[in-house]
Every structure is written in C-alpha cells, then in structure tokens.
Amino acid sequence: MRKLLKYLSEYKRESIMGPLFKLLEASFELLVPLVMARVIDIGIKNHDLSYILSMGGILVFLGAIGLVCSITAQYFAAKAAAGFGTSIRNDLFAHINSLSYQEIDTIGTATLITRMTSDVNQVQSGVNLFLRLFLRSPFIVFGAMIMAFTIDVKAALIFAVSIPVLSVVVFGIMIFSMPLYKKVQKQLDRVLLTARENLGGVRVIRAFNRQNDEVRRFDDENGTLVRFQVFVGKISALMNPLTYVIINLAIIILINTGANRVEVGIITQGQVVALVNYMSQILVELVKLANLIITISKALACANRISSVFSIEPGIKQTNQNEVKEETDVPKLEFDQVSLFYQGAKAESLAGIGFQVMKGETIGIIGGTGSGKTTLVNLIPRFYDVSQGSVKVGGINVKDYPLSQLRKLVGIVPQRAVLFKGSIRENMQWGKREASDEEIYRALRIAQAKEIVDEKGEGLDFIIEAGGKNLSGGQRQRLTIARAIVKDPQILILDDSASALDFATDARLRKAIKEETKDMTVFLVSQRASTIRNADRIVVLDDGQMAGCGKHGELIESCEVYREICLSQLSEKEVQ
C-alpha cells in the first residue's frame, strides 16, 4: 500500500482538509450531550421554557454546522479518492503496456483485468472511507471518554475499561480476516478467467455441445468464491454483535453506577444522560470503525495485489533512446545462433537458429505445430528477447534500437486478426496516422481487400464493430494485412495471416505483395507449402531447431522434414 500512497500526493490539500472537517464535525457532536445535560438539569428541572428553547436553538446550530462540515469533508474525501483511483488506473495500464509478452503470459490476462477493475475500485473505496473516518472515529471514541472524565471520574472508568476490550475485538478480527480477503480476490481471478474463456470460446463450446459442462465448471469456481466470501463474512460479521454486547453491558453498568451516584448527590440526572449519550456515541463510531476496518482490510489486500504488478520489471528494456543509423552493404536481417528459453520452460523453444536475409528477399517459414515459427518472427520486433545469440536488423542488434524506431521498421500481421471499433479508415491509420485515402486504397488493393470496402457501400467510413465481429474471418485477415502495408515497413511479417483465405485469393495476395513491395523484406509464416514454395528462401523449423534453409527444389532433395510436409499437402507432381 505504501507504494500507492504517492498517488495521493497530487491531492494533499483534499487529503488534509477532508479529515480536518470531519474532526470539526466531531467536535460539535461531542458538545451535544453537555447541552442536553444542561437542558435536563436546568431547563426541565426549573420548568424554564425559554432556557429549553435557547438550548434547543444551540442544538440546531450545532447540527447545521456539523452538516456543513460533513458535506465539505465528503467532497474533499471523494475528490481525493476518485483522483487517486484514476491515477492508479492510468499508471497501471501504462505499466502493463510496457511489459513484454513473457510477463503478460506469466501473469495472465484475467488477473490483470481484475487488478485494473475490482482491485482498484476496492482500494479507492478504502481511501474514501479512510479519509472520512480514520480521525473522526478514534477522536469521538477517546473524546467521549475524556468528556466522561470531566463529568465523573468513577463513571468514566467504565469507558477506560470498555474501549481497550473493544479494540482487542476489532483489531483481532481485522488481523484474522486480512489474509482471507486475499484468498477471496485470488478466487475472483479464477471466476473471471472461467467467464472470459467461456465468452471468448462460446462458438466452440456450442459446437461440441459442452454448455452443461461449462456451466458446472463455472458453478464450481463461483461456489468456491461464495464459500470463501461467506466464511470471511461470518468472521467479519462477528464484529458488530460483539461490539454491541460489550457496549450494552457497559451502558448497563454505567446506568447502575450513575443511578447510585445520583442518589447520593455526586452527579445529576442530566450528567448520567450525558454519560449514556457518550457511550452511545462510542457504540455508533465503533460500528463505523468496524466497517472501516473491513473495507481497509479488503483495500490493503487489493493494494498488495496491485503493487505486485507494479513491482514486475519489464523484460524488454530500451538501452538506447536515440535513433540509430543502419549500416550499409550488410544483410537486412541476421539471426546469429539464436536460442530462446520461455520462463518456466524445461527446454529451449528455439536453439541455434542462424541465417541471413538480404533487402527485398521473401523468406518462407514453415514447420509443424509448435515448431517455433511465431516465436522466431516475434524476436524481430523484440516482443521477446533472445536467451543466447543475437538478432540484427541492418547490421545493428535489435537491443540497440529504440523500440519506437525498431517497431516502425517492422510491420507484423499476427495469427489472430484483430480489428478495433471504428471506421475502416481509422483502423488502416493505426500504423501511419497521416495516411491518405490513396495510400489506404493502394494497401487494400495489395491485400485483396478493396472489394470488401466497395461492397459495404460506405467506403472507408464503414464502421467495424469491436473485434471485427461484423466481418468474416477472411475479411478480417485481409484488412489486417492492408493495415500493416499502409505502414510501409521495411520488414513485413505475415504470421499465418492468410489461413482463412481460399487458395486463389492467397495466390493473388502473394503475387501482389511481391510485385508492389519490391524493396520490402517479407516473412511468410505458414503451414501451407503452397504459400511459401515460391519464396526466395525457405526456413524449415522442427521442434525449435532449423532443419533446413534454401529454395523449394533444394529442400525437397536435402530436407526430409520439408519433403514430408509437402507430400502431405501436395501431389508428387506439384512437389516437383
């Protein structure tokens, strides 16, 4: 939680003024029992109506002033808490975006969503309640005890005994419940993950008729969450009845003691009523304090979870902030004995990969599922860092590039076609914000996507739904390819991005890319032999190792892995 307190620094004034106005309100509240005592002992005893009315006016005045102070305190506390929560969300989102694929894969998307939503909301609520009550409640509790001592020392000793007993109960329950709230939030991650998987894979679930199984799985996870919540709720629920029992016992003893002391003339009836009112004030404030502690317990558990995300250092760090100049007369891209270990993996995902690519070449990457094709091309824009060896672009290690410059050089179309809510024009301008309509249409023609725009009737102003839900899989893939081409990168990576296209469209796409982007170095990652067979060179991967590198004809003769892939997809005549 301490790491997050810096976000309150912008709201120092509000963080001070809120509690101070609450203290002012509490001060007026502590005067009320004394005024009531005078009403009873003087006004009612002497049947002095004018005195009663004047004291009543004072009570109304104290109430009005207290209301104004309370509203002012609520305003400052709410402003500080809302600003605090907003700053955390902004920085947390920025920090998550600075993490590499490796850290995001390790933490999990569902966990990160919970941190940014539920956890931040809990911390924000905790700060709001803390600013309003952390001074007011203790001030009322101890202030009431001090005021009791000014009335009668013997009767006030009951306060001195009750308050420590209540403190033990309240803080004991807090210490016991805090670890349990951490378990509740962790289980909430699992519920969110289950819901996210179901909503994301709803078509697959229905295709296999697994709705009932998934409902049962969600019920199990949700049931576990409910059991955790009920258990910690039972413990927290003990606080109110225990405090009520202790306070009411103290009031009984206080009334008995007060009655005896009134009888012998040591204190007045009004003072006994004032003592009981002070005890009642303590009861109300301890109930508030109990709720505060429950909320703070949740907030602290959530704050620790948020801090744990902030404490994760990005695996990809820039070593150079200044733009670098590429060398001339060197390969455009070079893999020099590259190896990669994923965190927690028992074996290398890539091992000893080495080859060079010249400017304008088209390189095909092929291999079986899990052979490391996507991992290999993800090293070029530095989505992952190599464990051994180096990747060089223009003769310079990718680690020496500023990330912005490196990723400006590379255009990548991932396996999963992702489009964002907005017009086609807005989606096309992601890589190049100032791209003109002419540039966009050129990219659409190369990507075989112009017909998509033409048939929609609204041209580039056609609105794409979130995730491209109003487009087919092939349409989404062609538009994402066009988006990468608009960027006009020096290196274009197509990571199995034509899998939803028919063979004729795929062939036209490859031909257009070759003819229209002659100076562009292109990587074609595919499991289709027909897609990569005409590439200038083909890199064959097998279980993270390079099984071969060369032209189609050479590999048919020299690489058994490549030959098997081709024979499984093409006829003997097509292979030759």
pLDDT for the residue 573: 61
pLDDT digits (tens, 9 = 90+) for 268-281: 888 888 888 888 88
Domain shared by 260 and 363, yes or no: no
Domain shared by 373 and 501, yes or no: yes
518 found inside a domain: yes
Residue 282 has pLDDT above 70, yes or no: yes
Q: Which of 460, 444, 453, 451 is nearest to 513 (CA)?
A: 444
Alpha-helical runs (H) found in 462-537: 473-486, 503-516, 529-532
The domain of 87 spans 2-310
Number of domains making up the chain: 2
Question: Strands 521-525 and 491-495: what pairing?
Answer: parallel
404 found inside a domain: no
Domain shared by 78 and 206, yes or no: yes
Domain shared by 374 and 268, yes or no: no
pLDDT digits (tens, 9 = 90+) for 79-102: 999 999 999 999 999 988 888 877
Domain shared by 266 and 373, yes or no: no
Domain shared by 135 and 48, yes or no: yes
Residue 575 has pLDDT above 70, yes or no: no
Domain shared by 246 and 138, yes or no: yes
Domain shared by 202 and 306, yes or no: yes
Confidence of residue 72 (pLDDT cuts 50, 70, 90): very high
Provide the whole-model pTM: 0.70
Let me know: does 296 contact 130? Beta carbons within 8 Å: yes
Let me know: does 123 contact 302? Beta carbons within 8 Å: yes
Residue 129 has pLDDT above 80, yes or no: yes
Domain shared by 293 and 416, yes or no: no
Let me know: does 354 contact 338? Beta carbons within 8 Å: yes
Please give the average per-residue pLDDT across 253-267, as a whole number: 84
Domain shared by 417 and 504, yes or no: yes
Residue 210 has pLDDT above 80, yes or no: yes
Domain shared by 304 and 427, yes or no: no
DSSP secondary structure of 115-130: IIIIIHHHHHHHHHHH
Q: Determine whether 476 is exposed, middle or buried from the number of CB atoms within 10 Å of its CB (0-12, 13-18, 19+).
A: buried
pLDDT digits (tens, 9 = 90+) for 28-67: 888 888 888 888 888 888 888 888 899 889 999 988 998 9
386 found inside a domain: no
Residue 328 has pLDDT above 80, yes or no: no
142 found inside a domain: yes
pLDDT for the residue 496: 82
Confidence of residue 68 (pLDDT cuts 50, 70, 90): very high
pLDDT for the residue 366: 92
- More confident site: 99 or 363: 363
Domain shared by 302 and 363, yes or no: no
pLDDT for the residue 354: 92
3-class SS of residue 337: strand
CATH of the domain at 191: 1.20.1560.10
